[in-house]
Chains A and B, each alone.
Chain A
Amino acid sequence: MEAREPLAPDAPALELRGIQKAYPGVVAVGGVDLDLRAGEIHALVGENGAGKSTLANVAFGAIKPDAGTVRAAGTVGLVHQHFQLVGRLSVWQNVMLGREPRRGWRIDARAGRERVRALARDNGLEIDPDAFVDELPIGVQQRVELLRELEREPAVLLLDEPTAALAPAEIDSFFKTITQLAARGTAIMIVTHKLHEVLAYSSRVSVMRHGKIVARFETASTSVDEIARAMVGGELPQVAQRSETAPAPRFSVRNLRAGTGSVALNGLNFEVRAGEIVGIAGVEGNGQTTLADAIAGVIPFEGEMQRPPHTGIIPQDRHREGLVLNWSIVDNTVLGRQRLPSARRGILVDRRSARADAEAIAQRFDVRAASLDVAAGTLSGGNQQKIVVGRSLLGDPEFVLAYQPTRGIDVGAAALVQSRLIEARNAGAAILLISFELDEILALADRVLVMYRGAIAGEFSGANIDRGRIGNLMAGSSV
């Protein structure tokens, strides 16, 4: 096969103009212009939900934009954050999948194997073409994913969170390959939120927030600090009325260890006091789910945990973990509270109080439903979430775990949920708020703990809550 004619250095390789993409209730990308030049490594950074992945998929052609144009100087390749490999096929079969060399009506295995071997050699990637993919470590699977895109000789290569699952050593060798690729004229865009990688390897940085590019930097003349500030927005959070909290600890963990791998908790120590919201800030995948699971009693843990008997839990995934979708609103109101004295009469479910509770939630949270007997699965996401949150706050729980309490719901419902959480706090509840939205943490929390790789990387409270420093810690850089 003939090698692609390399583009001249700095020649435009990809032009995005006025890209817009909206989903019901949310504008993912709201008018973005972006240029990639041949031979550059361009970092696209931003918080979760800023629209980075959507933009990458528009550039790749997997998502059709509502408006705007994409012009590329050649093939565009995309390496997904979640690998798209066939585990039971070998490396070369995965790389050549859908483009297998043929001899007559048969697949020419030898040619395929040789092609992959040559490709790997040219790009300095060490790999055995005959290994089965599901027997390879993650870092090597990533190489397969990369080879598959390189096989198509792309002029533009997009990498969506390429190092999310890699160990540090694998990350170094990965960037070595990428740097070589760029040196040979491929335009590369890395979607990431790891700022130290951005600084070490990219030539330019674009920062996305709320679907727009809010800042562009030449990497040589910027800093992690500056990028982080742009990522989370410079403006100060709207301050909720925070009064002094009572000293009584309601929930505490000492040396909490749980989970395995990159999301394991490495000995957490913190407490949540009555009348206080403690926010856990952090990028998704740094152990937050492990923490929530340990508190909910779904996974085993080591260390000590003091959890009051009346705990309300708002799980992250309302469909799967929060509701029985086939059940009525009334029946769902009981879930998680079925053993509390207030929800039962002896061994029976107290159906009268369940209905009264459901009515109270519907009123306090403005739940829009034809009746309280309709299945929860028929309601909109916002109304479903109102039931989950309302239920967890019934009867003044001593402690509430709120994991992404406003995830994927409209702004009005989100504001209502947040107000009710603050009211519960003012009434004396201890609330642990885990959220990937820094804005939400800053708006609600009295105290902020930053979680990075399963540990608390920093703590901020009161006047010391500093968006920029929190952003830095979230990205893994020390302050």
Chain B
Amino acid sequence: MSYLKRTLGGPAGAILLAFFLAAVAMLVAGVSPLDGFEALFIGSLGGRNQIAETLVQTTALLFPALGITLAFRAGLFNIGAEGQLVIGGLAAGALGAHFAPATPLAIFVLLAAGFVGGGIWGGIAGWLRAQFNANEIISTLMLNFVALAVANYLVSGPLKASNASGAETTPLPASSYLPTLIPDTRLSIAIVIAIGAAIVLRWLLKRTVFGYELRASGEAPDAARRNGVNMPRMTLLALTLSGAIAGLGGATIVTGVLHRFNTQLSPGYGYTAIAVALVGDLNPLWVCVAAFGFGILEAGGLAMQALADVPKDAIHVIEGLIILVLAARRYVATRAEAAPI
């Protein structure tokens, strides 16, 4: 009983409930939920190409979700993974188009540029919080808009490819593409890097002194402060690293999928990733599983629209419902804890 309760009360329950509510919504809209969900799963898992595309989406979500996980574990609500992702992609795209050395090392340089770019973007919010106690929820969110505006300006002006009709940078030289994992698909080895990042993050949080202090800051800030944790430094480091992981994700999209930077880099991965991190219970390995689940939704959504005539936005309804159910559950849990013993 208690196991069932725990499972259903947890992320799994949230997902089931969200799907149920989505089915109700489809019924109301006059579509058979069975047809809808069938299209969703055929479109995402029905063949080699579909699975590859699902994994592309999984990767795009996993990096920012891992960054968010790190920040949340430190008690910092980084809502700015979207901006950090874009800046990371921009850094890699700009460098790759104009300054990249034509050696096999180029790919490492571009990924590092994404890591640093995203890190700076997260670090700004970290510095504002550490120095002026500026609420990181607001600053990271606002920096998303700044990031998009900066990227828009650069790719429609200074960095715009000379022969491009739209707003995008010059394509990368093929030597700085991330190697493809499944031939003739968009899936690169970025998925391997992402899973590697998850494993490293888990190790960092669980085993290292830094991870110990980071978790202490998140769980009990007063105790951490009083027991030797330099909180301003931790805030700066955590948000920087959080942004860096998201920025690395942006760089893998540029080097592995688009092979150039444009502002359609992300359809909101950085926001969906918040739900991914929460569904994964802020545990790096479960976040991988959650990212796969959301990857199915992202990739299958188009098929659902084409095959079952369910608008792609229905996917966002499901995602939104999952977040809502999770948030409600946390709220109820907090209130139950707060009740007098």
Complex: A306 Cα to B125 Cα, angstroms: 35
The 0/1 profile, CB within 8 Å of A marked 1, for residues 206-230 of chain B is 0111101101100110111111100
Return chain B residues, CB-CB under 8 Å to A351.
207
Q: Which of A334, A338, A339 counts the most B-chain CB atoms under 10 A from its CB?
A: A338
Complex: A113 Cα to B213 Cα, angstroms: 55
Return chain B residues, CB-CB under 8 Å to A349.
207-209, 212
Q: Is residue A335 within 8 Å, beta carbon to beta carbon, of the partner chain?
A: yes
- Report yes or no: B228 in contact with A338, Cβ–Cβ below 8 A: yes
- Report yes or no: B223 in contact with A322, Cβ–Cβ below 8 A: yes
- Report yes or no: B209 in contact with A348, Cβ–Cβ below 8 A: yes
- Report yes or no: B222 in contact with A338, Cβ–Cβ below 8 A: no
Return chain A residues, CB-CB under 8 Å to B213.
338
- How many residues on the A side are at the interface (Cβ–Cβ under 8 A)? 25
Which among A315, A317, A335 is the interface contact of B216 at CB below 8 angstroms? A335
The 0/1 profile, CB within 8 Å of B marked 1, for residues 303-334 of chain A is 00000000001010100111111110001001
- Report yes or no: A335 in contact with B223, Cβ–Cβ below 8 A: yes
Task: Tell me the chain B residues, 296-340 only, with Cβ under 8 Å from chain A.
Answer: none
Which among A298, A338, A348 is the interface contact of B225 at CB below 8 angstroms? A298
Complex: A177 Cα to B223 Cα, angstroms: 44
Return chain B residues, CB-CB under 8 Å to A339.
209, 228
Task: Tell me the chain B residues, 215-250 only, with Cβ under 8 Å from chain A.
Answer: 215-216, 219-220, 222-228
Return chain B residues, CB-CB under 8 Å to A324.
215-216, 219-220, 223-224
Complex: A313 Cα to B223 Cα, angstroms: 11
The 0/1 profile, CB within 8 Å of B marked 1, for residues 290-306 of chain A is 00000011100000000
Q: Is residue A347 within 8 Å, beta carbon to beta carbon, of the partner chain?
A: yes
A149 to chain B, nearest CB (A): 27
Return chain A residues, CB-CB under 8 Å to B210.
347
Q: Is residue A336 within 8 Å, beta carbon to beta carbon, of the partner chain?
A: yes
Return chain B residues, CB-CB under 8 Å to A327.
219
Complex: A323 Cα to B215 Cα, angstroms: 13
Q: Is residue A420 within 8 Å, beta carbon to beta carbon, of the partner chain?
A: no
Complex: A322 Cα to B216 Cα, angstroms: 11
Complex: A320 Cα to B149 Cα, angstroms: 42
- Looking at chain B's contact residues, is the secondary structure mostly helix, strand, loop, or mixed? helix
Knowing A347-B208, A349-B208, A349-B209 are in contact, say whether A315-B220 is a contact too (CB < 8 A).
Answer: no
Complex: A313 Cα to B220 Cα, angstroms: 16
Return chain A residues, CB-CB under 8 Å to B215.
324
Knowing A320-B222, A324-B220 are in contact, say whether A335-B208 is a contact too (CB < 8 A).
Answer: no
Return chain B residues, CB-CB under 8 Å to A335.
216, 223, 227
Return chain B residues, CB-CB under 8 Å to A347.
208-210
Complex: A154 Cα to B223 Cα, angstroms: 45
B145 to chain A, nearest CB (A): 34
- Report yes or no: B209 in contact with A338, Cβ–Cβ below 8 A: yes
Complex: A475 Cα to B239 Cα, angstroms: 49
A277 to chain B, nearest CB (A): 21
Q: Which of B209, B215, B224, B227 counts the most A-chain CB atoms under 10 A from its CB?
A: B227
A453 to chain B, nearest CB (A): 25
Which among A296, A322, A348 is the interface contact of B208 at CB below 8 angstroms? A348
Knowing A334-B212, A335-B216, A349-B212 are in contact, say whether A313-B207 is a contact too (CB < 8 A).
Answer: no
Nearest CB in chain B to that of A311: its residue: B228
Return chain A residues, CB-CB under 8 Å to B219.
324, 326-327
- How many residues on the B side are at the interface (Cβ–Cβ under 8 A)? 17
- Report yes or no: B207 in contact with A348, Cβ–Cβ below 8 A: yes
A309 to chain B, nearest CB (A): 11
Nearest CB in chain A to that of B207: its residue: A348
B237 to chain A, nearest CB (A): 14
Q: Is residue A344 within 8 Å, beta carbon to beta carbon, of the partner chain?
A: yes
Return chain B residues, CB-CB under 8 Å to A315.
223, 226
Complex: A349 Cα to B207 Cα, angstroms: 6
Return chain A residues, CB-CB under 8 Å to B209.
338-339, 344, 347-349
- Report yes or no: A338 in contact with B223, Cβ–Cβ below 8 A: no
- Report yes or no: A320 in contact with B228, Cβ–Cβ below 8 A: no
A101 to chain B, nearest CB (A): 35
Nearest CB in chain A to that of B225: its residue: A298
Knowing A334-B212, A335-B216, A338-B213 are in contact, say whether A321-B223 is a contact too (CB < 8 A).
Answer: yes
A389 to chain B, nearest CB (A): 14
B177 to chain A, nearest CB (A): 34
Complex: A326 Cα to B223 Cα, angstroms: 12
Nearest CB in chain A to that of B203: its residue: A348
Return chain A residues, CB-CB under 8 Å to B216.
324, 335
Which among B207, B212, B223 is the interface contact of A320 at CB below 8 angstroms? B223
- Report yes or no: B226 in contact with A298, Cβ–Cβ below 8 A: yes
Which among A321, A331, A334, A336 is the interface contact of B222 at CB below 8 angstroms? A321
Return chain B residues, CB-CB under 8 Å to A321.
222-223, 226
- Report yes or no: A323 in contact with B223, Cβ–Cβ below 8 A: yes
Knowing A334-B212, A347-B210 are in contact, say whether A320-B227 is a contact too (CB < 8 A).
Answer: no
Which among A317, A331, A336, A344 is the interface contact of B227 at CB below 8 angstroms? A336
Complex: A298 Cα to B220 Cα, angstroms: 14
- Report yes or no: B220 in contact with A336, Cβ–Cβ below 8 A: no
- Report yes or no: A320 in contact with B208, Cβ–Cβ below 8 A: no
Return chain B residues, CB-CB under 8 Å to A338.
209, 212-213, 227-228
Nearest CB in chain A to that of B218: its residue: A324
Complex: A315 Cα to B213 Cα, angstroms: 18
Complex: A335 Cα to B223 Cα, angstroms: 8
Task: Tell me the chain A residues, 336-387 only, with Cβ under 8 Å from chain B.
Answer: 336, 338-339, 344, 347-349, 351
- Report yes or no: A296 in contact with B226, Cβ–Cβ below 8 A: yes
Complex: A344 Cα to B213 Cα, angstroms: 13
- Report yes or no: B212 in contact with A336, Cβ–Cβ below 8 A: no
Which among A317, A326, A331, A336 is the interface contact of B228 at CB below 8 angstroms? A336
Nearest CB in chain A to that of B230: its residue: A297
Complex: A318 Cα to B219 Cα, angstroms: 14
Return chain B residues, CB-CB under 8 Å to A323.
220, 223
Task: Tell me the chain B residues, 170-229 only, with Cβ under 8 Å from chain A.
Answer: 207-210, 212-213, 215-216, 219-220, 222-228
Complex: A344 Cα to B211 Cα, angstroms: 12
Complex: A349 Cα to B223 Cα, angstroms: 18
B223 to chain A, nearest CB (A): 5
Q: Which of B207, B208, B228 counts the most A-chain CB atoms under 10 A from its CB?
A: B228
B135 to chain A, nearest CB (A): 21
Return chain B residues, CB-CB under 8 Å to A313.
226-227
Return chain B residues, CB-CB under 8 Å to A297.
228
Complex: A199 Cα to B213 Cα, angstroms: 52
B192 to chain A, nearest CB (A): 25
B238 to chain A, nearest CB (A): 16
Give me 12 A-to-B residue pairs in the complex whose CB atoms sit less than 8 angstroms apart, sorted by A's number. A322-B226, A323-B220, A331-B212, A335-B223, A336-B226, A336-B228, A338-B213, A338-B227, A338-B228, A339-B209, A344-B209, A349-B209
> Which B residues lie at the A interface, using CB under 8 A?
207-210, 212-213, 215-216, 219-220, 222-228
> A-B pairs with the 7 shortest C-beta distances?
A336-B227, A324-B220, A321-B226, A324-B219, A320-B222, A335-B227, A321-B222
What 20 new A-B contacts, CB under 8 Å, besides A338-B209, A348-B207? Answer: A297-B228, A315-B226, A321-B223, A321-B226, A323-B223, A324-B215, A324-B219, A324-B220, A327-B219, A331-B212, A334-B212, A335-B223, A336-B226, A338-B213, A338-B227, A338-B228, A339-B228, A344-B209, A349-B209, A349-B212
